Amino acid sequence: MVSHPARAALAGVLCAAFPAAAQVPHLLGYQGRLLRSDGTAATGTAAVSFSVFEAGSGGTPLWSETQTLGLSEGYYSTLLGLVAEPPETLFDGGDRWLEIKVGTETLAPRQRIGAVSYAVTSRNVGGGSAKVSSLEVAGQLVVDANGRLAGPARYGAGPGLAVDDISQTVSLGTCSAGQVMQHDGTTWRCTTAAVGSVTQVGATAPLSVTDATATPLLSMPQAGSGSAGYLSASDWSSFNSKYGALTQCGGDLSGMLSAPAVVRLQSRPVSAAAPAPGQVLKWAGSAWEPAADANAGGTVTHVGGNAPLTVWYGSTTPEISISQAGASADGFLSSSDWVRFEAKYQADTECAGDLYGALAAPKVVALQSRPVAPIAPSTGQILKWTGARWEPADDENAGGTVTRVQGIPPLQVWNEATTPQVSMYAADQASDGYLSSGDWTRLSSGTVG
């Protein structure tokens, strides 16, 4: 339910809108206030319909229009005729009544329109200007001798504003020292500005604070070898220029880091000569070179292999192969995949496992986690397991009398003395082995965990 407490002042309110000129616009000034049924002021906006009838009830409207009006403490002010211009015959001398509807609710009763509104008809009256000392309507002063609005027709202002009739100015209400004007959702009010509750700012290293209780200033030093801090642009450039995929290898490796070749074993040269089938690497006094295996004549009758290993001609000249690993197949790590995986690591990374030193120039210090002695081999010697490490030793197994095939983890051999079968399990975080297709996919994508 919406009520309208300004009905009785309609005539006076309408009078205020008309200038005393020969050409009178068809606009009627109107002000009012909307209150809810509980007496509180309506807020926001409202769709208000204005209609003019020739009787206090019933009948057909002679004119009507609907406006969307903004409300301040329920107050609104508008000009009737902004949407639909009233006909010139609307005020022809007969009684006229104004009906107001807010949304779908019609406010009752209708309000009778005062005589001054009929000045609209002066639009059809010729002649000059009117000179009067003051203007009264129905005994009520509307315009005083100074030409200013007076009485109920004076200008008003909403809460928080003040109007000076003499200077014809509008100003903000007066607040106490230190207060500010703040809108509470309905009107402007004087209020005390909010004050923060922070009394001191602290920081944890590498951040530091000066003037912590007044105007705190936070700072951080540049990072260095002995102190934490921010990364400077110069250090960034220095770090960025570290080893990359095109770094030249050294140590036991040759070529670029993206595709190195092993040219030494523990700083001892390895010959680039292509080996013939069945040959082994044998120390020639100055380098490891391909040579015939003097240990011929073994009792092995068949060699087999488990995936991803494949064995051809297992009963005659066994040939063991392994396919390239991929997203859906286990196998060996190709050089192209090696380049891709290597790019995920820094060249100056410290090696571990069977290698020692920086990744850019590592040294082989173990074979499958078993130490290799740093002893120079003599010509014709081989690497032989002493029970604690691999050491150069004379080849005592002449005549080729292999009687058993054994494997060192991660390789495993079954039927060692008859039909040896060599296999290898997939590697994981706790055991060595071959690179599975699942791990290949994870490593290729760079996923951690």
**In this predicted structure, what is the pLDDT of residue 206?**
84
Predicted local confidence at residue 144, as pLDDT: 78
Is pLDDT at 331 greater than 80 in this prediction? yes
- CATH dotted code for 2-131: 2.60.40
pTM: 0.29
Contact (CB, 8 A) for 94 and 62: no
- Range 380-401 average pLDDT: 83
Q: Tokens 């060996």 — which residue?
A: 332
Q: How confident is residue 21, by pLDDT bands cut at 50, 70 and 90?
A: very low
Beta bridge partners of 175: none
Averaged pLDDT for residues 325-334: 87
- Looking at the chain, the whole-number percentage of residues with pLDDT higher than 90 is 25
Q: Kindly report, residue by residue over 172-211, the tens digit of the pLDDT.
A: 667 788 788 787 777 777 888 776 778 888 888 888 989 8
**DSSP codes joined into one string, 69-102:** EEEBTTEEEEEETSSSPPPTTSSSSS--EEEEEE
Q: Is the pLDDT assigned to residue 397 strictly greater than 60?
A: yes
Band (pLDDT 50/70/90 cuts) for residue 17 is: very low
List, in sequence order, every residue forming a beta bridge with 371; answer none if it has no partner.
366
Whether 428 contacts 327, CB under 8 Å: no
Residue 370 is predicted with a pLDDT of 94
Each residue of 388-397: b (16+ CB within 10 Å) or e?
A: ebbbbbeeee
Structure tokens at 155: 């200008």
DSSP 8-state symbol, 348: T
Q: Where are the domains of the chain?
A: 2-131
List the beta bridge partners of residue 46.
69
pLDDT for the residue 8: 32
Residues 6+ apart with CB under 8 A from 204: none
